[in-house]
């Protein structure tokens, strides 16, 4: 059932989807104080593996130090060069690409070429700047805010989904990213509503449940949608026979968990889909997608094959769905820039309203009349 019984106002006026001042306010109020997903454990499984990321204009490097994941500002304290420009890689030591300074797991300097020329070394400025990092489920989280609450204290649906299974039960089936010429809010709103499915995804997505079968949960910090999926009988019979190889009791219920502002966890059967949407300008954003499939507690040849094939099938479908959505984003953004309308939101789209109201509350915006 839906939370509301009558249509809702479009809380955010169209100009807020391309306003530079609003963009900066969202970065400062919504994003920089938050925890963000920067990678999965599968992205850097070995000692010495690393990835680099850009978080709201801040370059960071995430590295595996013997099984411990640490994150630093991707800037050398010597002459301010990026430690690495590679998106991902492996190195025996964390070494600056410019003059070869090496750094330990705690960020302190290790080997410095011709170190005698730097005497005395007072310390402090020669250490890397670190950022708080936590692992939850298969995902790696980082916050740029030293005063942010612990990840486990973050309200919303994020933690219960991450903790549903141990990290080692999840096998990453694929990860990829997109750059969209649209406000991050456009992409978020499209993700949380199913009203567009019959028009935009008539062949790639099967039907959701009826209004009586769909359940919406709205909290101040996130939303949840639960819905049965109407699938062909043959698919359901095959899935019901094979999925118990991975996890008994797998359900065909689709569960979309949105933790405000920009983290999505989708669960259905043996799959976990993780998506983040990062603003990169007032009218552009970056989306990263991770897809995981459960591995059996006691793996066999059959269960390993099932995990692999199920992952390939899910990745193919998700890529097609996201491509169909992506086709609309430039038109949605262009429409926002020229719309004279207030807009309106149906009860089926009430999770869009909840998200917009969150942005309004956090950014201190006045309610539209």
Residue-wise pLDDT for 107-126, tens only, equals 999 898 988 888 776 555 57
Residue-wise pLDDT for 37-87, tens only, equals 999 999 999 999 999 999 999 999 999 999 999 999 999 999 999 999 999
Report whether pLDDT(312) > 90.
Answer: yes
Give 275's pLDDT tier (boundaries 50, 70, 90).
very high
For domain 1-34+155-369, the question of CATH label 3.30.43.10 is answered with no
| CA 369 – CA 356 distance, rounded (Å) | 15
Residue 256 has phi, psi (to 5 degrees) of -105, 115
| Closest among 23, 4, 10 to 355, alpha carbons compared | 10
Question: What pTM, to 2 d.p., does this model score?
Answer: 0.94
Q: Where do the domains of the chain lie?
A: 1-34+155-369, 35-147
Give 164's pLDDT tier (boundaries 50, 70, 90).
very high
**Mean pLDDT across 317-342:** 96
Cβ(86)–Cβ(143) under 8 Å? Answer: no
Provide CB contacts within 8 A for 259, sequence distance 6+: 154, 156, 157, 158, 221, 222, 265
Residue 153 has phi, psi (to 5 degrees) of -95, -5
Report whether pLDDT(239) > 60.
Answer: yes
| CA 215 – CA 125 distance, rounded (Å) | 53
User: What local confidence, expressed as pLDDT, does residue 156 receive?
Assistant: 82
User: What local confidence, expressed as pLDDT, does residue 231 receive?
Assistant: 72
Q: Are strands 88-90 and 49-55 parallel, antiparallel or unpaired?
A: antiparallel
- Torsion over CA: 357, 360, 364, 367 (sign): negative
Q: What percent of the chain has pLDDT over 90?
A: 82
Q: What is 54-103 written as a DSSP string? A: EETTEEEEEEEETTEEEEEES--TTT---S---SEEE-SSEE-TTT--EE
**Mean pLDDT across 239-267:** 92
How far, in Å, are 11, 121, 131, 284, 361 from residue 223 at the CA level? 17, 51, 28, 24, 16
> CATH homologous superfamily of domain 35-147?
Rieske [2Fe-2S] iron-sulphur domain (2.102.10.10)
């Amino acid at each position: 059932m839906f939370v509301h019984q009558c249509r809702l106002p479009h809380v955010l006026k169209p100009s807020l989807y391309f306003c530079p001042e609003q963009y900066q306010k969202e970065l400062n109020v919504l994003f920089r104080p938050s925890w963000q997903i920067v990678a999965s454990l599968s992205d850097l499984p070995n000692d010495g593996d690393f990835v680099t990321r850009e978080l709201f204009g801040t370059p960071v490097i995430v590295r595996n130090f013997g099984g411990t994941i640490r994150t630093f500002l991707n800037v050398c304290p010597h002459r301010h060069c990026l430690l690495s420009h590679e998106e991902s890689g492996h190195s025996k030591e964390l070494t600056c690409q410019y003059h070869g300074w090496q750094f330990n797991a705690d960020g302190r300097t290790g080997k410095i070429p011709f170190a005698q020329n730097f005497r005395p070394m007072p310390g402090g400025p020669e250490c890397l700047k670190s950022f708080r990092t936590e692992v939850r489920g298969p995902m790696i989280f980082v916050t740029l805010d030293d005063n942010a609450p612990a990840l486990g204290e973050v309200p919303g649906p994020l933690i219960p989904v991450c903790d549903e299974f141990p990290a080692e039960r999840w096998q990453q089936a694929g990860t990829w990213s997109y750059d969209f010429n649209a406000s991050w809010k456009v992409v978020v709103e499209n993700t949380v509503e199913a009203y567009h499915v019959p028009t935009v995804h008539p062949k790639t997505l099967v039907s959701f449940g009826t209004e009586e079968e769909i359940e919406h949960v709205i909290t101040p910090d996130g939303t949840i949608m639960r819905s049965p999926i109407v699938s062909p009988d043959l698919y359901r019979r095959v899935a019901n026979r094979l999925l118990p190889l991975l996890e008994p009791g797998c359900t065909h219920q689709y569960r979309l968990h949105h933790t405000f502002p920009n983290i999505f966890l989708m669960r259905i059967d043996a799959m976990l889909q993780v998506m983040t949407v990062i603003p990169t300008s007032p009218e552009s954003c970056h989306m990263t997608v991770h897809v995981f499939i459960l591995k059996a507690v006691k793996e066999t040849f059959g269960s390993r094959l099932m995990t692999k094939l199920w992952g390939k099938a899910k990745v193919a479908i998700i890529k097609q769905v996201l491509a169909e959505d992506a086709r609309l984003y430039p038109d949605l953004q262009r429409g926002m820039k020229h719309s004279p309308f207030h807009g309106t939101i149906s009860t089926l789209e009430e999770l869009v309203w909840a998200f917009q109201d969150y942005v309004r509350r956090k950014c201190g915006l006045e309610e539209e009349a």
